[in-house]
Amino acid sequence: MAAGLSYYKISMPLLTPFTTSFGTQTERIGYIFRLASGSVTAYSECVTGEEPHYSYEDNETAMHVIRNFFSPMIADLPQPRVFMERASVIKGHNMAKAALEMLLWDYHSRAEGIPLARRLGDSKGHADVGISIGMDSVQDMVRRIGSAVEKGYRRIKVKVEKGKEFGILSAVRDSFPDIKLSADANTDYTLKDAELLKRLDRFNLVYMEQPLGHDDLLDHSRLARQMATPICLDESITDSAKAEQAFDMGACSVINIKPGRVGGLTESLKVASVCAERGGHCWVGGMLETGVGRAFNISLASQGNVDYPGDTSPNDRYFSRDIVDNPFHMVDGRIRPNDGPGTGIVVNGAYLSSVSLEQGSLLKP
């Protein structure tokens, strides 16, 4: 059956500006994809943004490779694994690949009438939810953490950068001595900062996330040998082979899995297996996704191998109104994946169009 593939370039304001060591984001500008064939309609989201800060990919590079290379590969509606074999001729561009790979997961799960969380494998039936707090004045961060703890989030992560880490972590630990706390530096340090980073051991963090270079493993392994705090890698782990190398080298004991970064759910499941086999831990991160991308993250985070709470907050943490009509709700720090086929989300087509800067067709049915 012929497939129609459309895209929507959306712009949605964030409720709270989100500041990391890369800068401040006030809106989510990204691409939503819609695949329709027969009576089945599937959606996915590309996690790229306007600027290549997190990795080399951005909205324009993603649309370039999707339009010219990846779209024709899904015209016959292949299974996700078959698409990944075809797409392997293109080096990198994992976020672009993931956007179409996840679209196919949603499509086939919907066509078979199976919830995505179950089609992926061994779902616990819920995702344990943590929260990522962007940098702000220390008082405001402490206030926001207090409100997150009250709401029942199971792990608090604070964004830090070089020079601000002590102020932030001291104030948070003074107010919340016992919470599960981690810090994410988004690559802001080098190995020359090892002495400074070792002093963070006193804060008893569950882990320190990606302190060093975005594609580094070796220096992280050197740092891990000096720090008592476990190292979690995010940016550096671009596929399951990298995850194996990281464990071989002792570069990390925890991995933040983002399906976009590793090229989709097929590879995310492999990374989770590597973590389990090596006695490590993993959790599912976020890229400020709308309700579309969020639904994939929650299905993945519900898998048995994902053993730490992730950055999969409910939709209303980021947007006053989402493009899905059935946003997730957190109860006791947990979110249940939808029961319906695929991701189970119901996209509001009129609202999606109203927040779209641009829309068009990549494959005609």
Q: Which residues bind Mg ion (CB under 5 A)?
A: 184, 209, 234
Q: Is 242 part of the annotated catalytic residue set?
A: no
Of residues 71 and 94, the one with the C-beta less far from Mg ion: 94
CB of 233 vs Mg ion, minimal distance in Å? 9
Nearer to Mg ion, 7 or 283 (CB): 283
Q: CA quadruple 124, 130, 131, 132: dihedral positive or negative?
A: negative
Q: How far is the CB of 8 from Mg ion (least distance, A)?
A: 27
Of 97, 157, 242, 258, the catalytic one is: 258
Of 151, 159, 162, 180, which is the active-site residue?
Answer: 159
Least distance to Mg ion from the beta carbon of 40, Å?
34
Residue nearest to Mg ion according to CB distances in the complex: 234
Q: Which is nearer to Mg ion, 161 or 209 (CB)?
A: 209
87 vs 282 by CB, closer to Mg ion: 282
Shortest gap between Cβ of 184 and Mg ion (angstroms)?
4
Q: Is 159 a catalytic residue?
A: yes
**Whole-number minimum distance, CB 349 to Mg ion, in Å?**
33
Closest to Mg ion by CB, 209 or 322: 209
Residues taking part in catalysis:
159, 258
